Amino acid sequence: MTEARAEMKYVRISPRKVKIVCDLIRGKDVQVAQGILLQTPKAASELLVKLLKSACANAENNHEMDPDNLYVAETFATGGPILKRGMPRAHGRMYRINKRTSHITLVVKEKEA
């Protein structure tokens, strides 16, 4: 069975925040998943809408899949490189602030007839 995927790399959002939204749409039809993402008040939902549209376009144009029969087979976020920043503290010390990045992957497949 063929699959179409889309990846978004080096996104400046923590993977922990993205995984919450990924869990909402995993296994759902594309139209249902898009509706869920548009109604979810999380920063990651905008990114995942964009990624979902890209994966559907890849399925339709590169793999000749029917866009009405697609569902979200896999979606996950892994950690990217961490930007290390500092915050001044008392007595001239510096505390580290980790600015995390994510690599987000979304895979769509066609439903079996």
Give the CA distances from residue 99 to residues 11, 81, 102, in Å, rounded to whole numbers and listed in that order. Answer: 11, 9, 10
Give per-residue pLDDT as tens, 42-98.
999 999 999 999 999 999 999 999 989 999 999 999 999 999 999 999 999 999 999
Does 113 score more than 80 pLDDT? Answer: no
- In this structure, how many other beta carbons lie within 10 angstroms of the beta carbon of residue 99? 12
Does 33 score more than 80 pLDDT? Answer: yes
Q: Would you state the pLDDT for residue 2?
A: 85
Nearest to 48 by CA among 68, 76, 69, 67: 76
Confidence bin at 99 (pLDDT 50/70/90) = very high
Give per-residue pLDDT as tens, 12-26.
999 999 999 999 999
Does 1 score more than 90 pLDDT? Answer: no
pTM (predicted TM-score): 0.89
- For tokens 């992957």, name the residue: 105
Confidence bin at 112 (pLDDT 50/70/90) = confident
